[in-house]
Amino acid sequence: MISVHELTKTFSSGNEEIVAVDHLTFSVAAGEVFGLLGPNGAGKTTTVRMILGLLNPTSGYAEVEGLRSSEAPEEVKRRVGLVSTSAGLYQWLSARELLLFFADLYGLPRERAESRLKDLTQVMDLGPFLDQRCSTLSTGQRQRVHLARALIHDPPIMLLDEPTRGLDVFGTQAIFDYISQLRREGRAVIVTTHRLDEAQRLCDRFGLMHHGRFVLEGTLDELRRQSGRDTIVEMFMELTRHAGSADSSAVTGLGDRPS
């Protein structure tokens, strides 16, 4: 459902060219949760923005259900739900008004929008605050509205950019439950995060990024065989020991080390 092929993005800074994403290739199937992992500045959010069609690649491409993001960005957006901590809520609208507003933006007929709202109210337990203004909601309530907003148009694909940032243990558990629900519904999910212990619990496959490239990719068992390390956190810590080297071979050499 998501296909990324040789995706590359460079930026100019004065006389210097910065490579944010460097020939990245991966795919995500229906019902699969893919963890796009790495430290801040690894290229995770830039990759998500190119998949969504918000940023054009320098070379390579991303496809969503066979549509290239750079060629049909509006059609891609109709098929994707985005959850991002950088997104805000309209403070003077109630949760109900906000969700129906976004349903209208996506072109849902009123009857369909009301049906989706009813379903999401039950799934996300929005009932107790559905008619409160967003400005009055707690952090956890606001996060549930964010999640419902991303699903209001019933997209087959979800992109979650640092979804647990700033949440307490209860809010984080709500995200875990939400992603489990997405998997059961057969949606393709990409989760970007630097909270590696959480990613290990959430994801089916992983891509560990460093300087815009994957240095490890696969299931947890495959990553363990490649790296000789047991947990994603240990793999990451080993990765950062090589952060001063621009040569990715210094990082992929992880697999040469005994467990």
CA–CA distances in Å: residue 219 to residues 10, 20, 115, 224: 29, 24, 37, 9
Q: Exposed e or buried b for every residue in 208-238, given b needs 16+ CB within 10 A? A: bbbbbbbbbbeebeebbebbbbeebeebbeb
Asked if residue 131 belongs to a domain, the reply is no
Taking a C-beta distance cutoff of 8 angstroms, is the pair 157, 1 a contact? yes
pLDDT in tens, the chain (259 residues): 899 999 999 998 778 888 999 999 999 999 999 999 888 888 988 999 999 999 999 999 999 999 999 999 999 988 998 887 666 788 999 999 999 999 999 889 999 999 999 999 988 889 999 999 999 998 878 888 988 998 899 899 999 888 877 677 877 887 888 889 889 989 999 998 878 888 888 899 999 888 899 988 999 999 999 888 888 888 888 776 765 444 443 333 344 443 3
Asked if residue 143 belongs to a domain, the reply is no
Domain limits at 72? 2-86+155-256
Asked if residue 96 belongs to a domain, the reply is no
Asked if residue 78 belongs to a domain, the reply is yes
pTM: 0.82
Q: What is the pLDDT at residue 243? A: 52
Asked if residue 187 belongs to a domain, the reply is yes
What is the rounded CA–CA span in Å between residue 44 and residue 81? 17
Asked if residue 238 belongs to a domain, the reply is yes
The token pair that represents 149 in the structure block = 């907003």
Asked if residue 247 belongs to a domain, the reply is yes
How many structural domains comprise the chain?
Answer: 1
What is the rounded CA–CA span in Å between residue 231 and residue 218? 13
CATH number of 193's domain: 3.40.50.300
Taking a C-beta distance cutoff of 8 angstroms, is the pair 134, 53 a contact? no
Asked if residue 94 belongs to a domain, the reply is no
What phi, psi does 212 have (nearest 5°)?
80, 0
